Amino acid sequence: MIKHKTIPFQDTGFFTKIICDYLDKKKETTQYYNQFPDLKGFEKQIEYKRASFSKDFREILVLQLRKQYKNIKVSGATELNIELLSKKNTFTVTTGHQLNLFTGPLYFLYKIITTINLAKLLKENFPQDSFVPVYWMATEDHDFEEIQFFNYKNNKIKWERESKGAVGDLSTDGLDKSFEEFSSLLGQGNNARKLKKLFQEGYLKHNNLTDATRYLANELFGAYGLVIIDGNDRLLKTEFAPYIKDELLHHTSFNEITKTNNSLKKQYKIQVNPREINLFYLKENFRERIIYKDKTYRINNTDIEFTEEQILQEVDAFPERFSPNVLTRPLYEEVILPNLSYIGGGGELAYWFELKRYFEKVNIPFPILLLRNSVLLISKKQEQKLSKLDVSLKELFLEYNELINKKVRDNSEIKIDFSEQKLRLNTMFLELEEISHCTDKSFLGAVKAQQKKQLNGLDNLEKRLLRAQKRKLKDLVDRISILHNELFPKGGLQERIANFSEFYKETGEELISGLINNLDPLQLEFDILEI
């Protein structure tokens, strides 16, 4: 049985001020979103979206999804969800992610599981409507360096190749070598065989990265009704064409996001700064920015250029050649999906907060922003070690040096705290200050200087005593260090480094079912699961 605990996101030390303020519903954030992610907010959002999404869009969406699933085994749950999307009382909840090799870091799972669980929770609370979990594949992305590897324990499995253009079009050639390396590390066992088969079937039997990723996500989550969509689709982009033209002619996203960011930066760090045109031009083997200069639309790093009339004709003839960037892709998603909520990590929500004014300008409903579940997976053995070391959940999330210093102080036979000595020292110097008022002013300066010197001396002695006790308690320090590095590799969150295969090898299919059964999408706390 899985043991499940939570800690507020705000107490982990890993989430930015804007995310913490959002979760706390602070007034500083309210202008950057519409509805808060709770049941009351979703009730309002359902009616808001119901009134704004057309039947024609639904028919096109269902048609294209069926085409995209043509060569893949579709689960009954997913097939039903695709069919339901044609009905006016069906809505989506959506997450998006890059096409990371073998899913990349663990949080890929957490994004999709949050989405699946949110759809289920909404159905329980609004039974008259239907809710479909959607994974939007970032097939048009071109940041290959970010997706070409995954970690298995302390080993980096890398896909060595050159890359140009949209990553979804990349041939899977060369992944046989990555498979051989991964396979040798996995070793034997039933779960190891399942992982090998999953990699083989996904990457060695599909021709491009889009198809491989679709297969992989479908194998892992198809039973839960996940619908996977590729936005790099001519007919879907035809529906988005009016917004592409608006962006080219009026630079709407730049103008509106700039106004928002001018307000946002007074309190928070800006996640993404807009370009004058937030679109790429996409063709085989390249995806380059569209730059407007001297009344001409130029494609960066190429000799291609258009007049205004020519580029509008290009949109009509080849809408698939226009690729949204990080700031316009959210609008594309919301235009073609009957979507209620976008589920993402802290960094993603930070740039979504920049978009509300832009959405209002183009008259598209702004979705509810939901911070995905974040999880720390702990083995039973690690849990037992934490207990023996008397490290509490709150202490576990302390910064490494702060944790070590605290536990050394807690376990030292000598009190490593000179607060009392500093208090007595300050009392003595207060008496000397009284004396200084009766003599030359220069004496007060000497008293202050000596006070600072003595306090600094006590600080240094306290630090030296702490270092001495660390050496004396070396075994304790080493055990905490090893465990902390296991749970927080490189000092960061486990979910951003480790791959699911490391845990699947030990637990098998119970990994995903256990996560789905234990994670609450609207609890809005960091989860710790003993598996």
Q: CB within 8 A of 140, min separation 6: which ones?
A: 166, 168, 231, 232, 280, 282, 287, 323, 324
Is residue 511 within 8 A of residue 531, CB to CB? The reply is yes
User: How far, in Å, CA of 132 to CA of 221, rounded?
Assistant: 13
Q: ∠ CA 417-13-1 to the nearest 5 degrees?
A: 105
If 0-12 CB within 10 Å is exposed, 13-18 middle and 19+ buried, where does residue 79 land?
A: middle
User: How far, in Å, CA of 393 to CA of 416, rounded?
Assistant: 23
Question: Smallest Cα–Cα separation from 27: which of 36, 37, 14?
Answer: 36
- pLDDT average, residue stretch 111-135: 98
User: How far, in Å, CA of 330 to CA of 285, rounded?
Assistant: 24
Q: How confident is the model at residue 27 (pLDDT cuts 50, 70, 90)?
A: very high
Share of the chain above pLDDT 90, in %: 83
Q: Does residue 505 or residue 448 have the better pLDDT?
A: 505
Cα Rg for the chain, rounded, in angstroms?
28
| pTM given for the model | 0.93
What are the structural domain ranges in the chain? 3-236+328-374+510-530, 390-492
User: How far, in Å, CA of 5 to CA of 526, rounded?
Assistant: 8
Residue 422 in this model has a pLDDT that exceeds 70: no
Question: Smallest Cα–Cα separation from 357: which of 426, 259, 271?
Answer: 259
Residue 128 in this model has a pLDDT that exceeds 70: yes
- Residue 520's pLDDT is 98
Residue 344 in this model has a pLDDT that exceeds 70: yes
Q: How confident is the model at residue 256 (pLDDT cuts 50, 70, 90)?
A: very high
The alpha helices in 304-377, defined as continuous H runs, are 308-317, 329-336, 346-352, 356-362
Mean pLDDT estimate for the chain: 94
For the stretch 426-440, pLDDT in tens is: 777 777 777 777 777
- Residue 209's pLDDT is 97
Beta bridge partners of 290: 299
- Residue 340's pLDDT is 98
- Residue 457's pLDDT is 67
Residue 85 in this model has a pLDDT that exceeds 90: yes
Q: How confident is the model at residue 416 (pLDDT cuts 50, 70, 90)?
A: low
Is residue 85 within 8 A of residue 314, CB to CB? The reply is no
Q: How confident is the model at residue 462 (pLDDT cuts 50, 70, 90)?
A: low
Q: Strand locations in 304-421, DSSP E?
A: 305-306, 322-324, 339-344, 368-371, 375-378
Residue 135 in this model has a pLDDT that exceeds 70: yes
Share of the chain above pLDDT 70, in %: 97
Residue 458 in this model has a pLDDT that exceeds 90: no
Lowest mean pLDDT among 46-55, 106-115, 365-374, 447-456: 447-456
- Residue 159's pLDDT is 97
- Residue 451's pLDDT is 72
User: How far, in Å, CA of 208 to CA of 169, rounded?
Assistant: 6
- pLDDT average, residue stretch 47-52: 93
Q: CA 60 → CA 57, 68, 168, 281, distances in Å?
A: 5, 12, 22, 24
Could you write out the three-class secondary structure of 433-473? HHHHCCCCHHHHHHHHHHHHHHHHHHHHHHHHHHHHHHHHC
